[in-house]
Amino acid sequence: MLGADASEGLAVPGWTGPPVLVIEGGDLLKLGPGMRIHMCHDKGEDRVVGTFEELVERGVPLPIRINVSRLNIRVRDGISIFANYLPEEAPA
């Protein structure tokens, strides 16, 4: 969760409004209106790029399962998350 203070997960200076859930269950990317994603692997393969609205228009199922290593998520104007996604290891 992104929000105004650490009790919401990740505190974002100057945050206004309700907190926003971006990743759910460890591997589901939750996008909403106005958000934009650019995600791919290290060498650019399996690329997904677009705004929430563009992805809906193209029929991309939401939420998006994260199966790549690099994410750039624009949450709203002036707030973006850059992540190197490391999935949890499967139990032995």
pLDDT, tens digit, 9 for 90 and up, residues 6-42: 887 888 888 888 999 998 988 999 999 999 999 999 8
41: in domain: yes
8: in domain: yes
pTM of the predicted structure, to 2 decimals: 0.82
90: in domain: no
CA–CA distances in Å: residue 17 to residues 3, 5, 20, 87: 8, 12, 9, 29
CA atoms within a 13 Å half-sphere pointing along the CA-CB vector of 47: 7
Range of the domain at 58: 2-84
